[in-house]
Structure 1
C-alpha cells in the first residue's frame, strides 16, 4: 500500500502505516506513533544454532542448515481437520523432512509459494524422529538465503522476541517493526549530536536498526545503549529542571544558632554519635540557605534519625518559623509527640509556670481529636505559638493554616502520596516554600531509585548509637511443626524472664477478604503465578488461639488494631508500655515508631504477605532496650519456594540499604517523576537502575550541563518535547519523594 510521509517528525500515527491487525497489536502496548514503535524494544533475542551439516545432525539437536528444496507432499490429516505438509530438503550430505501441521487451507498455499522445488533456504529448528523412521523438523523457521558470505551472515542473525498479548504473533510484531524502520529518520532525536559523538553512541535511526534487525548480539546491545542513555538523559533533565526551579524559589533561611537547640543538646541523656553530628551539620547547612531543600534522611532502625530531625526543627523555631512532623498513623503521631515533649522537658512548656523562658509549644493534631483540643491546637498553629506541630493527614486539610511554616519532616515517607507533600509545600509563608526532610529506616524502591538517579539530597546515617541489644531474625516454616513449636516456646521463655512479645497479623478478622501477598515480577515485569498460600490469620482469632497454647500459659494477652477507638488504642499501648501486657496481638499499626524497650520478641504471622520495609520495621520494634531481640517470620510457604527464599534474604541482613536494593530488584522502582510507588515498568522501560548506575551518572552530568546552559530548553526543543511527553500523565509540579 502507498504510505504517507509524516507531517511532523516522529508523530505519524501507525494506523497510516501498518495493517489494522498490526496497529491493534502495538496499541495494546500503548504504542501508537513512529517514535514509540522505534523505541519499543524486543524483550530478548533468539540466536540460531551454528550452521550444521544434516549428516552430523542427531535427534534432539537444535540446528541451522542451508538446504535445497527437493520435493513437497501434502495430504489430509486423519485424526483432526487440516492438512499435513511435508517438504524434503537436502544439503548434499543428507536429507531431512520439514513437517507442518496446518489447520487452515490457505496456509498450505502460503508455504508452497515460499518453498518451490530448487529453492535455497536456511532452516532453523530441532531435529526429531520422523513418522516412518526418518528425521524431521516440525514447524521450523526458514527463509530464502543467498549463498554468499553476507547472505549466510544475515541468515544467522539474532531473531528479536517481542512481548505478546493474546492472539498476537511474533510474525505480526516483526512485520510491524520492519515497516516502522523505513521511517526511522523521521523520529525525534532527543540526544544532542555532540552527546552522541562524545559518548560514541549511534544515532536514533541506526540504534533502531541495530535493535530490531541486528546481525549480532553486540549490535543489539549497542542499539539498546542508545535507548538506555536517552531514557536516563530525559529523567535527569527533569530532575535538573526541578533543581533549577528550586534555585528560583525562595525558602525561609533557618540559620539561627539558638537558644533552643543548644539548650536541647545540653539536656540530652546521651552523647550524639559522630555520624549524628556530621549529618546534623549537613542538614543545618541545607536548610540555612534561601532555597527549598528536599533531603532524604536515611538511617537504619535505631540509628537516631528522630533526634537529628528534632534538632533541625528546633533550629526552625529559633529562626522564627514553625516546624511540622508528619506521621502516617495516629499511634505513631502520639508516640512522636510524647517522645518530643519528653526529650524537650521544660523547653516544650511555653505558657506554663514551669516552662523555660525560651520554651516553645509542641502541639498534636490528629483526625480523631476532640473538638476543644483541636480548636486550641489550631489557634496555636495559626498564631505561631506552637513552634512544633506533630500530626497525621489532618495537618494537610485546608483549615490548618500556619503562621510561618519553615520545615516539614515526614516520617516513613512511603506512607504518604505525592499530593500530601505538595499540599504541605503550599503552606509556606509569603509565597515561600518550606524545606522538606523525609525520614526512612528502609528506603522503598521509589526512594532507592531516586537516590540512584540523584534527585534528592541524600543524608545517610550508617552507624547506630549502640545502646540497644539488636535483633536476630529467623524464618519459621509452619509445615515444619517442630520449628513453629520452638518459636512459641522461645516466646514463652522471654515472657518468663519478664519481657514482652509482639505478634503481628495481616488482617483483623479471618472472615474478611484475604490480604494478598506481594506480587513477584519476572524479568519482563510480569506477575509470577502465586504458588498458593494458606489463608491469612486475623488478630481476633489469633489472640483466642494463643490463650490456649501451653507455651504461653498464664500470659496476659492484648489486642490492637485499626477498628479500636483512639482512646482504646492509647489505653492498650499504655498497658504495653507499663508491662501490663505480655503478648500484644496486632496489625501493622505498630509498624513504625512504637517504642517498648522491654519487648524482645516479634512474631510476624503469614510473613510472606508483608513487604520488605514492613518486615524490617516490625522487627525494629524489639531489641530496643538492653535485651537482644528475636524476630520470627512465620510462613506457610514451602521451604526453598520463592516466598521462603525472599523471607530468608530479609532475615539474613539487618542493613536497611541492602534491603532497599532487594526490594528494588523485586518490585521495581516506581514512577520516578509521577505518583506511582512501585512497578518498574511504570517509568523506566529500558534502564536497570542498579545495573546502569554508571550510565545514569554520565547522563546526569550531561543533562545538568544542558539545563544549566538552557534552563527553559529553548534550544533543545526535542528534549523539551520528550519531557512534556513523559509528564503527560503526571503532575509537572509533583514533589520529590
Structure 2
C-alpha cells in the first residue's frame, strides 16, 4: 500500500461513509484536515472527570466509573429502563437506556471508561440518555505494566453527537499507521534554533502520546508551525503587493489639500500630522500603500482619510470609501461634503452608492463613477458588485475593517486598472500581537489623541440583578438631559420580541460568554419596538419626539430619521447597533445601552463614542441583568471603568474565552487557528514572524521551500484569510 500524504482524501482511507460523516461534522476532506484536529485535553484510565461542573444541554465527553446498575419496568408501556450510576468520587450522574438490558453485561460496577452524550436532568440528577461509551480494558494488555497502562494519556477530542471522541481517535490512528514521511514546512535551521520536533513526529506524539512530555512538546512544535505558516502567508502577501507598481499620488503646492487644510476651523492633532505625513509619503511613492490606521473613537480617522483622498484627486485619481452600513455611508457623504465646502465639493463631486438606491439613482451614480466625474465615491457592499467600474481608482479606504473580510477589500482593490493604494480604518484598537496575526500584511499607525473640544464621557453600570429599581432613575436622568435641551440614544440588542440577538448590517455579533444562565433563564431581550412604546408612554417623557432606527427600515426611512435627529427635530433615538459607528450628532449627550452584557467590549466602546461629540459632557448608562462575577458583567464593568480604547482592547482579549479570540471560526473547521493563541503566544508569534521574514527576503516565491508553499496553500486559503480578517 502506498504511504499516505497530507493531501490524500479521507474517503480513500476511512471509506466513503465514515469520511462523509467527518466532512459533515467538521468539514474535513483530507488526511491533513483530520490530523490537524488536535485533542482538547488528555485523560488517564486512572483519572475521573469533575461531574459537578458539566454544562447542561451540551454534548460532553467524560471519564468516569460505574457505581451501580439497576433495571426497572416502564410504567406506561412494555419494556424496561436500565439506569447506570457513574461517579468521579464526588459528583454522580445517571446513564439511561430504554429496552437495552444487554448493556448490563458490559456496564458492571467498577468498570471505567469514556462516556459521551448530551447532559440533561431528571428528578434533580444529571443524566445522559442513551449515551455512547468506550470502556477501558479491565486489565493492562500483555507486555505493558499496569502502571504504564494506567498513566498513558488518552486523547479527548472536540466531538459531536455524530462523531465521538473515540471514533476520532481510532480514525486518526488508522491514518497515522499509513502516513508516510512528511516534508517539513519549517526549515531545518529554524527547527534547530527553536528546538522543536519534526512535523511527522509531532503529529504522532500529539495524537498517540506515551506520556505527558510527549504531547506537551508536540503541542509546542505544532503551535510554532501554525504561527510560522500564518506569518509566512501574511508576509508573502505583503511583499507581493509591495513588488507591484502604483501611480504616484502627490499633493501639489497650492492644490486642493493645501486649500482644505488652510480652511480647517481647528488645528490637526500631533497624531494626525504624523500619520498624515506617513500616508502622504506612501501615496507619493510608486509602491502601493497598505496601511491600517487604528484610533480612538472620535480621534479623526475620517479626516485623515479625507486628506488622503484630496491628494489622490489632485492627480486625477478617484477614491472609494467602503462603509459597513447605509447609515454610516450616508453620514460619511454628508460629512465629506460639509468638510470640503461648496467649491471643493463641486469640483470633486462626491457620490453615494448603496444597495437600496432606485434604479435611476444607481444608474446616475454609476455613470459619474465610470466617467471619472465623481472623484470621491462612498458606498456599502454595493461598491463590490461587478457593474461598478472606475475611471481611475487610486485609493481604497475601508472603514471599520472588522466588518469586512480580506476578500471584500481585494474585490474593491481589483477594480483599479493599476493597483490602488489601500487605507484601512478601525476604531477598534488592536493589541500588537493581534495586529501581527490578523493584519500582518498591513503597516499600522495609531491615533491616540482626541481633537480639542471633545468632552470626557462618564459611564456607569446600572446593575438590575442587584438593583432592579435603578431603571426608573435611568429614565428620570434621561428626561433631565432632554430638559437641558440635549438629545439621547437608547440602544437595544434586538428589534422585535422573540428574536434572537443577530448582527445587523455587517455588524459584529453581540457577545455571549456561556458563563451565565442559559438563554431561557435570562430576562427577555430589550427590543426597539417594545422600548419605543414604553418611552413614548413614560410620563416624564411626555411631548418628546422619540423615533426608532434599525437595519430593517428602508434607506429613505433611515435617512429621514437620521436627518431629523441631526437637525434636533428628534429628541430620542431608540436604535440597534446600526448607530454603532460613524453617527455624529453634536446635540446627543446621553446614551442608555439596554442589556449591555449582550454586547462586546469594542461594541460598547464604539456605541459610547456616539455621545459627547459636540462640546457637551457625555453620559453613558450601561444597563445589565448579568450577575456579579460573571464574564458578561466583568466586560460591562471594564467598559465603565475606562475610556482608553487601547486598554479595553487588551481587557477584551483577557476576558474572552481562549477559543474566541479570532471569532466564531474557532469551531474546528479549516478556517480556524488550532493551537495558537494571540493572547498568550505573543513571543511565539514574534519569533515566527522574524524567521518567516528572513526566509521570504531571500526567497519571496518560496522556490526553495516547496513544503512551506504547500502548507500555505493547504492552510491559508482565501476562506481562512477572510475569517481571520473579520475580527
Q: TM-score, normalised on structure 2?
A: 0.78
Checking the alignment, whether the CA contact within 8 Å between 1:514 and 1:535 is kept in structure 2 is no
Partner of 2:419: 433
Q: Of 234, 243, 256, which residue of structure 2 is paired with 1:239?
A: 234
Alignment of 1:58-137 (within 5 A): none
Partner of 2:444: 458
**Alpha-carbon distance change, 238 to 177 in structure 1, aligned in 2, over 3 angstroms:** same
Partner of 1:261: 257
Alignment of 1:635-646 (within 5 A): 635-646=624-635
Checking the alignment, whether the CA contact within 8 Å between 2:233 and 2:716 is kept in structure 1 is no
Partner of 1:45: 42
Question: Aligned with 2:375: secondary structure?
Answer: strand
Deviation (angstroms), 1:370: 6.0
Partner of 1:483: 470
**Alpha-carbon distance change, 547 to 40 in structure 1, aligned in 2, over 3 angstroms:** closer
Deviation (angstroms), 1:684: 0.6
Partner of 2:460: 474
Alignment of 1:146-185 (within 5 A): 152=147, 155-166=150-161, 170-183=165-178, 185=180
Alignment of 1:182-261 (within 5 A): 182-183=177-178, 185-258=180-253, 259-261=255-257
| Structure 2, unaligned runs of 5 or more | 48-67, 74-79, 85-94, 115-134, 503-508
Checking the alignment, whether the CA contact within 8 Å between 1:418 and 1:736 is kept in structure 2 is yes
Q: Of 309, 325, 328, which residue of structure 2 is paired with 1:329?
A: 325
**Alpha-carbon distance change, 733 to 536 in structure 1, aligned in 2, over 3 angstroms:** closer
Q: Distance in 2 between matches of 1:333 and 1:101?
A: 57
Checking the alignment, whether the CA contact within 8 Å between 1:276 and 1:308 is kept in structure 2 is yes
Is the counterpart of residue 404 in structure 1 residue 392 in structure 2?
A: yes
Partner of 1:53: none
Which segment is superposed worse, 227-236 or 467-476? 467-476
Deviation (angstroms), 1:200: 1.0
Partner of 1:61: none
Checking the alignment, whether the CA contact within 8 Å between 1:384 and 1:404 is kept in structure 2 is yes
**Alpha-carbon distance change, 315 to 549 in structure 1, aligned in 2, over 3 angstroms:** same
Q: Distance in 1 between matches of 2:552 and 2:164?
A: 51
Which segment is superposed worse, 311-320 or 703-712? 703-712
Partner of 1:90: none
Question: Aligned with 2:469: secondary structure?
Answer: helix
User: CA offsets, 1:453-485, max 9 Å, x none?
Assistant: 622211111222242112222332445322211
Alignment of 1:14-25 (within 5 A): none
**Alpha-carbon distance change, 447 to 618 in structure 1, aligned in 2, over 3 angstroms:** farther
Deviation (angstroms), 1:396: 3.2
Q: Give me the CA root mean square deviation.
A: 4.3
Which segment is superposed worse, 36-45 or 683-692? 36-45
Question: Aligned with 2:548: secondary structure?
Answer: strand
Alignment of 1:516-595 (within 5 A): 516=502, 518=510, 520=512, 530=519, 532-595=521-584
Deviation (angstroms), 1:224: 0.5
**Alpha-carbon distance change, 104 to 194 in structure 1, aligned in 2, over 3 angstroms:** farther
User: CA offsets, 1:162-210, max 9 Å, x none?
Assistant: 2233265555444444444444553443222222122111112322343
Partner of 2:696: 707
Q: Distance in 2 between matches of 1:247 and 1:123?
A: 57
Partner of 2:484: 497
Q: Distance in 2 between matches of 1:362 and 1:532?
A: 50
Checking the alignment, whether the CA contact within 8 Å between 2:460 and 2:622 is kept in structure 1 is yes
Is the counterpart of residue 422 in structure 1 residue 407 in structure 2?
A: no
**Alpha-carbon distance change, 484 to 169 in structure 1, aligned in 2, over 3 angstroms:** same
**Alpha-carbon distance change, 557 to 143 in structure 1, aligned in 2, over 3 angstroms:** same
Q: Of 299, 303, 308, which residue of structure 2 is paired with 1:307?
A: 303
Question: Aligned with 1:386: secondary structure?
Answer: coil
Q: Distance in 2 between matches of 1:341 and 1:683?
A: 42
Checking the alignment, whether the CA contact within 8 Å between 2:589 and 2:617 is kept in structure 1 is yes
Partner of 2:353: 365
Partner of 1:127: none
Q: Distance in 2 between matches of 1:735 and 1:689?
A: 12
Q: Distance in 2 between matches of 1:167 and 1:314?
A: 58
Q: TM-score, normalised on structure 1?
A: 0.77
Which segment is superposed worse, 169-178 or 411-420? 169-178
Is the counterpart of residue 724 in structure 1 residue 713 in structure 2?
A: yes
Question: Aligned with 1:547: secondary structure?
Answer: helix
Q: Of 630, 647, 671, which residue of structure 1 is paired with 2:636?
A: 647
**Alpha-carbon distance change, 418 to 23 in structure 1, aligned in 2, over 3 angstroms:** closer
Q: Distance in 2 between matches of 1:329 and 1:83?
A: 57
Partner of 2:341: 345
| Structure 1, unaligned runs of 5 or more | 51-74, 86-99, 116-121, 125-138, 351-358
Deviation (angstroms), 1:328: 2.5
**Alpha-carbon distance change, 83 to 698 in structure 1, aligned in 2, over 3 angstroms:** same
Checking the alignment, whether the CA contact within 8 Å between 1:337 and 1:364 is kept in structure 2 is yes
Aligned length: 657
Checking the alignment, whether the CA contact within 8 Å between 1:472 and 1:631 is kept in structure 2 is yes
Q: Distance in 1 between matches of 2:150 and 2:501?
A: 52
Checking the alignment, whether the CA contact within 8 Å between 1:297 and 1:460 is kept in structure 2 is yes
User: CA offsets, 1:402-455, max 9 Å, x none?
Assistant: 221111112223334444323321221xx3111111211115899946655622
Checking the alignment, whether the CA contact within 8 Å between 2:230 and 2:716 is kept in structure 1 is no
User: CA offsets, 1:663-682, max 9 Å, x none?
Assistant: 553573548xxxx8776863
Q: Distance in 2 between matches of 1:177 and 1:208?
A: 10
Checking the alignment, whether the CA contact within 8 Å between 1:83 and 1:105 is kept in structure 2 is no
Question: Aligned with 1:436: secondary structure?
Answer: strand
Q: Of 634, 637, 645, which residue of structure 2 is paired with 1:656?
A: 645
